[in-house]
Amino acid sequence: MPSLHLRVSCRDTVPGEAVAAIGSWSAWDKHRPAVLSTTADTFPKWTASVPLPTSASVEYKYVIIRDGHVIRWEQGPKGVNREVALEDADASTDDIFDRIPAVRTARIQKDPPSAPQSRPWASDGVSANGHSKFPVALDDLERAIVHLTNEKRSWRQRLSFVRSLFTEDSAASKNSFNPQNIDHLATVSVFLTFLASGQVRCEEDGGHHRPNHHANEARQLEAALARVAKSAPRKGTDSYTPYVIRKIFPQLPSYAPQFTASVPLTRIRDIAHRGDIPHDFKQEIKHTLQNKLHRCAGPEDLQTSARLLERIQHGDFSGGLKEQFAIFHAELLEFFNASSLDDRLRYLQGNQNTKALASLAGKMLKEKHSKYPAMPQMETLTSLRKGLAELPLMQVDMETTGENQLPSEDVQRTRLADIDLEGYAFMLLAGIAKDAEQQTEGRFDWNNAVKGLSISLENIALSGVCPAEARATANELNSIANPAKRRDLLRTKATVDRALRFAEDFSSSLSDVFSRRATSIGQALGVDGHAVAVFAEAEIRSNITFQASRIADACTKMCRIGLNLPPWDPLNAGEAFGKLVFAENLSDVSATEDSVIAVCRYADGDEDIPSNVCAVVLGRSLPHLSHLGVRARQAGVVFVCAEEREAFENFWRDRSLSYAAVEVSHREGLKSFARTHSIDGSNHSNKSVTENGHNVKRAVNIAFDGSVKNPIAITEATRDNASSKCAFVGKLRKLAMKSDRLFETPNGVALPHGIFQSQRSGHGTVYLSLIKQYLDEGNTEKHDDAAHSLFSFIATNFEMTNDHCKRVQAEFSKSARVMVRSSANAEDLEGMSGAGLYDSIANVPVGSTDALKSAVARVWASLWTSRAASSRGSYGVPHDEVSMAVLIQEMISADFSFVGFSYDPVRKSSEAIYIEVAVGMGETLASASSLGSPYRFRVDRKSLDVEVLSFASYSEGLVPSDDSDGLHVRTVDYSTQQMTINMEFRTEVVQTIAKTIVLLEEEFGGPQDVEGAITADDTTNRIYIVQARPQVL
């Protein structure tokens, strides 16, 4: 039995956490991780050996676990897992956490064989003729399916195997099958599709099993599939599980009563015994169809029946035979669930359980055959699908596989009617999409396009694909009138951007899931190469989401034309010259001696920008006032984001390394981009333009007073005893009390530097030695290792006293939730923002002493995150002089959060206030980890006129969890958000924020970076300022 020896470098754990691996060897079961180990001497290297059942390719990812539960998966290119191909010997890895190769590579480290060996076959792959083998790397499930296909030749046996995977724990365990794993479900779907289409041939197995056996297998399998779909996750790729399961249902036979009877499909026996058929032809029917069908039915019988029907209908046969064989063929189509949409609609018309929808089904039939325009048909079709979903028989809850809980024929036929209606909707929407695309060159019919996109999304939701997201976006579209004004166009753009992002994400995920599985199992089973190659593309291009993306693309194009928007959004204007580096993620860009222009698809938002990066070209939008944006301006990094997908793809397609000069302006975005193969940059300068020239890092003052050693009221905090953040918040609280309710601030307590210093003194020798170790290390990776050692040491050994906890708890109600925030002496300074470098812990129950202690220790420890230490180093801040005070503020459950700058960082102007707003808590804005854009406003300083620059398009907002610490995500429906639909509300709130920011600038004597929250009810809108810091220009 071979073993996989895992070795990974990971510095992201804290005490109590460990690194583990989850992979195909355990069917991706997150409850059975392979836990890696490390020691004080070997950290951050983690190791483990995983015994594997066979020699084959394995896929895996690393996770961080706590108390046996996965708390974080490593990040990497979308849809890509780590992969290692084993042969007959062990294999070893040398990985880095969060660094998954964009292209899978097999890194095999083993001794070479003593003599030349032929390449081993990784599977029991067979071609259609049963002889050829294919050298493909399969996982355990795929290998089991290939073995089954070799050993069990009939459709019934193969259906029984698939059913056992879902209903028998022993079969699932033996074949490493996890019904919640979307890759495994896709494998089943691909396999059954190849069977039903004849791409993988079924044959007789020598037994005698009438079609009722097949029907009963299908009935049990459908019950299990329905349960899996019901329990599927609602977030991430696995939220597409219901859709993948929908692809399985049509591949199963019918379990209508006539097919579960002991002797089904008897009409063919009567036909074979008719007296008006020539003897030879009678024998042909009997031996090629009747006997075969009753011994061992399979999809091949439908093909045989179709050929016979063609001969009979066009041959010299009696009218009675023609009639009876046509009836039989229709019955066979029904058994194989290959009936037409017309047949399914007629069933809905005549069935007792669906009689409430008989009129709609009849209307659909009439409109279909009368060739009504696409939109009226889509409206009828959507109403019918909604009605089907609400039928009582489709709400049956099947918790067991007992006979009384198995689905009825009506459930299967109704479900298949819905699936066929979805397929017909694709055809109708193709015409609507084509019209929208053609109209982009002339007069655009906004009403038809927006309605078409909305109804597409409603049907996507009805198919179980991220229903909350699809319906929320559809609701927004339904609330949009013909966008005649700029403001309406901005709102429309935000919504269609969201729709396009949703469609592209689904298509990308679907392509990834099906292409990998179709390729591996298709090749192993000898499926035609072209059929394998186009499988995933066919799935995407036959899906409603594909038509939705076409309509959204056309709408986006018209929005940009109407708004006269450039394809690039400037985050920080300026000029730069450097070597082009292409990376999937900004965090993948390494520090080198060269000046680098980083071209990246994604950014997580919390990464530090390497010191050698002079410019960033990013393939996604970012909040201008995010922590990443602040750090870019602070470091003088030219930064531009793509607003048009194609604009970025033009860069990405040509990834040849070269040098380039880039110029970003606030009006045009990416004004110029010139490649050169010369390394001579003497004619170019790297500068981020500001009002006073380009950015220069200033010396910072980090002096503090550690004499105060007990918690203090926030109004007693000073820059000396608790640093700038606490001091500013204390001043804010005093200002709020005399602002005539212009703004408010939450109650707060400061843990001054003296408390941290007391903890440090108790561990002084070890702490200082760890700092020395950090300073002595000469390269970035070892720096990071040493920083993590300090992080872990503080998190483990520094602890808030019980007395201090009681003093803090006395300032809040017992049920209060608080934010525990950093207030380091190396953040919120003039010339050094430090935005996002240190941790804040949200939604901490202040009444829980353990939770409070843990949150404070985590904030103290964040003094030594690698990005914080690296940033301090770039400013020359002495590491042994840094200290961490802590701000504890009452949690405001915000309806909206905002960040505002008193100096416009986009136009580099002091004439306007720049504000960004998001639904929910402020982490959405600050971290920039969510795809989409915030509300953006520019407010004239003198007149307070509000200019709407963009409406929000984030799919989700963050809200405090009611029953646990931290925050959870909530899908946002902007058609119900006052900031979107109520201009009076929007203007009043934004103007109030602008007035507050101006007041703070005047009070604090310079441009301000302000964070706050908005609560709104039917009578009162309240503005809370939670933080203000000097804005870095």
What was the pLDDT predicted at 112?
31
Q: Please count the residues of the chain.
A: 1033
Average pLDDT, the chain: 86
Selected residue with higher pLDDT from 43 and 705: 705
Q: How far apart are CA 768 and CA 636, in angstroms?
A: 33
Kindly tell me if the per-residue pLDDT of 122 is higher than 50: no
Q: Per residue in 753-779, pLDDT tens? A: 999 999 999 998 899 999 888 888 755
pLDDT of residue 531: 83
| CA-only gyration radius of the chain, Å | 33
- Do 1007 and 861 fall into the same domain? no
Pick the range with the lowest mean pLDDT from 674-678, 692-696, 807-811, 987-991.
692-696
State the pairing for strand pair 3-9/91-92: parallel
Tens of pLDDT, residues 405-423: 678 899 999 999 999 999 9
pLDDT on residue 296: 93
Tell me what pLDDT residue 1 has: 63
Residues 167 and 187 in one domain: yes
Q: Which amino acid is at 186?
A: A
CA 906 to the chain's CA centroid: 29
Q: Which DSSP letter does residue 699 get?
A: P
pLDDT of residue 217 exceeding 50, the answer is yes
Task: Give CA–CA dist 185/244, Å, rounded.
Answer: 7
DSSP state letter for 24? G
Asked, for residue 477, whether it belongs to a domain, the answer is yes
Question: pLDDT tens for residues 477-518?
Answer: 999 877 878 999 999 999 999 999 999 888 888 888 888 889
User: What pLDDT shows up at residue 529?
Assistant: 83
Lowest mean pLDDT among 77-86, 166-175, 764-773, 871-880: 77-86
- pLDDT (0 to 100) of residue 236: 62
Residues 928 and 917 in one domain: yes
At 1015 the pLDDT is: 94
Nearest C-alpha neighbor of 1007 from the set 874, 898, 911: 911
Cα angle: 505, vertex 509, 512; to 5 degrees: 140
Considering the domain architecture, whether residues 552 and 644 belong to the same structural domain is answered as no
Tokens 């409430």 correspond to what residue?
Answer: 356
* pLDDT at residue 400 is higher than 50: no
The closest of 657, 671, 699 to 573, measured between CA atoms, is 671
The answer to whether residues 1013 and 898 belong to one domain is yes
Q: What is the pLDDT of residue 624?
A: 86
Tell me the per-residue pLDDT of 822-869, one tens digit each, with 9 for 90 and over. 999 888 676 666 667 888 899 999 999 999 999 999 999 999 988 888
| Residue after which a domain boundary falls, among 44, 62, 96 | 96
Helix (H) or strand (E) holding 890: strand 884-890
In degrees, rounded to 5, the angle at the alpha carbon of residue 634 between the alpha carbons of residues 694 and 648 is: 90
**Is residue 536 within 8 Å of residue 511, measured between CB atoms?**
yes
Residues 62 and 181 in one domain: no
For the segment 91-97, the average pLDDT, to the nearest whole number, is 84
**Gap between the Cα atoms of 558 and 909, Å rounded:** 30
The neighbouring-strand residues paired with 70 are 65
Question: Of 13, 11, 9, which is closest to residue 858 (Cα–Cα)?
Answer: 13
Both tokens of residue 399?
């918790």
Q: If we measure between CA atoms, which residue out of 122, 166, 226, 244 comes closest to residue 512? A: 244
Residue ending a domain, choose from 655, 675, 694: 694
| Average pLDDT estimate for 579-584 | 88
- What's the confidence (pLDDT) of residue 88? 52
Residue 871 pLDDT class (50, 70, 90 cuts): confident
Structure tokens belonging to residue 661: 């000069």
Cis peptide bond prior to 257, omega within 30° of 0: no
Examine residue 435 and state whether it is found in any structural domain, yes or no. Answer: no
Do 772 and 856 lie in one domain? The reply is: yes
Higher-confidence residue of 78 and 607: namely 607
pLDDT at residue 127 tops 60:
no
Same domain, 674 and 734: no
Tally: H helices and E strands in the chain: 33, 31
Quote the number of domains for the chain: 6
Model confidence band, residue 113 (pLDDT cutoffs 50, 70, 90): very low
- Domain assignment of residue 1005, yes or no: yes
Q: Provide the CB-side half-sphere exposure for 677 (13 A, CA).
A: 1
Tell me the pLDDT band of 780, cut-offs 50, 70 and 90: low
At position 398, the amino acid (one-letter code) is M
Q: How far, in Å, CA of 749 to CA of 532, rounded?
A: 63
Residues 265-278: tens digit of each pLDDT: 999 999 999 999 99
Which phi and psi (to 5°) does residue 402 adopt?
Answer: -65, 160
Q: H/E/C letters for each residue in 199-268?
A: CCCCCCCCCCECHHHHHHHHHHHHHHHHHHHHCCCCCCHHHHHHHHHHHHHHHCCCCCHHHHCCCCCCHH
Query: Which pLDDT band, with edges at 50, 70 and 90, does 78 fall under?
Result: low
**What is the pLDDT, as a whole number, of residue 875?**
77
Q: What is the pLDDT of residue 505?
A: 87
Contacts 24+ apart (CB under 8 A), 893-896: 893/959, 893/960, 893/1015, 894/920, 894/921, 894/922, 894/1013, 894/1014, 894/1015, 894/1024, 895/919, 895/920, 895/1014, 895/1015, 895/1016, 896/920, 896/979, 896/989, 896/1013, 896/1014, 896/1016
Per residue in 552-572, pLDDT tens? 999 999 999 999 988 899 989
DSSP three-state, residue 327: helix
- CATH code at 671? 3.50.30.10
Q: What pLDDT, on the 0 to 100 scale, is given for residue 4?
A: 87
pLDDT at 808: 97
Question: Could you tell me the pLDDT band of residue 118, with boundaries at 50, 70 and 90?
Answer: very low
Give the per-residue pLDDT at 106. Answer: 34
Would you state the pLDDT for residue 544? 92
Q: What is the dihedral of CA 537, 540, 542, 544, to 10 degrees?
A: -170
- 686 and 723 both lie in a single domain: no
pLDDT for res 44: 84
Q: What are phi and psi of 35, to 5 degrees?
A: -85, 130
Share of the chain above pLDDT 90, in %: 56
The larger pLDDT score, comparing residue 1014 to residue 130, is at: 1014
The pair of structure tokens assigned to 612 is 């050698």
The SS3 call for residue 1014 is: strand
| Predicted TM-score (pTM) of this structure | 0.80
Chain mean position to CA 279: 64
Give the 3-state DSSP-derived string for 117-135, with helices as H, strands as E and coil as C: CCCCCCCCCCCCCCCCCCC
pLDDT at 694 over 70: no
Taking CA 54 as the corner, what is the angle to CA 53 and CA 56, rounded to the nearest 5 degrees?
Answer: 130
Distance of alpha carbon 891 from alpha carbon 627, whole angstroms:
21
The fraction of the chain above a pLDDT of 70, given in percent, is 90
Concatenated DSSP letters of 813-876 = -TT-EEEEEEEETTSSBTTB--TTSS-EEEEEETT-HHHHHHHHHHHHHGGG-HHHHHHHHHTT
Query: Which of 89, 29, 38, 87 shows the shortest CA–CA distance to 60?
Result: 29
Here the tokens at position 217 are: 């297998």
Residue 742 in tokens: 């212009």
For position 710, which CATH number holds?
3.30.1490.20
Confidence of residue 133 (pLDDT cuts 50, 70, 90): very low
Provide the domain limits for residue 849: 698-890
Domain annotation covers residue 35: yes
Same domain, 816 and 771: yes
Determine phi and psi for 707, rounding to 5 degrees.
-80, -20
Residue with tokens 């069977």: 195
Chain CA centroid to CA 500, Å: 14
pLDDT value of position 86: 66
Whole-number pLDDT of residue 678:
59
d(CA 532, CA 678): 45
Q: What is the spatial distance between Cα 447 and Cα 558, in angstroms, rounded to a whole number?
A: 13
Domain-located, residue 807 = yes
Tokens 């009696």 — which residue?
318
- Residue 157 host element (H or E): helix 155-167
Q: Does 135 score more than 60 pLDDT?
A: no
920/959 Cα distance (integer angstroms): 6
For residue 237, tell me if it sits in a domain: yes
Average pLDDT over residues 706-711: 96
Q: Is residue 352 domain-resident?
A: no
Q: How many CB atoms lie within 10 A of CB 250?
A: 17
Shared domain check, 907 and 813: no
In this predicted structure, what is the pLDDT of residue 679? 57
Do 875 and 751 fall within a single domain?
yes
What value does the mean pLDDT take over residues 319-324? 94
CB 688 within 8 A of CB 908: no
Q: Is the pLDDT of residue 257 over 80?
A: yes
Q: Nearest Cα to 710, choosing from 675, 753, 679? A: 753
Q: What single-letter amino acid sits at 702?
A: I
Give the tokens for residue 53.
């059942």
**pLDDT number for residue 16:** 76
Rounded-to-integer distance, Cα 483 and Cα 446, Å: 8
Which of 515, 535, 560 delimits the end of a domain? 560
Say if residue 105's pLDDT is above 60: no
CB 101 within 8 A of CB 79: no
What is the three-class DSSP state of 394? helix
Residue 882 near residue 870, CB atoms below 8 Å? no
Residue 914 to residue 891: CA distance in whole angstroms: 25
Q: Is 554 exposed, middle or buried (0-12, 13-18, 19+ CB in 10 A)?
A: buried
Q: What end-to-end distance do the CA atoms of the chain give, in Å?
A: 62
The three-state secondary structure class of 399 is coil
Residue 589 has a pLDDT of 85
**Are 8 and 19 within 8 A, CB to CB?**
yes
Backbone angles phi, psi at 105, to 5 degrees: -135, 145
> Which of the four pLDDT bands, split at 50, 70 and 90, describes residue 690?
very low
Please indicate, yes or no, if residue 666 is contained in any of the structural domains: yes
Token digits of residue 400: 């067991």
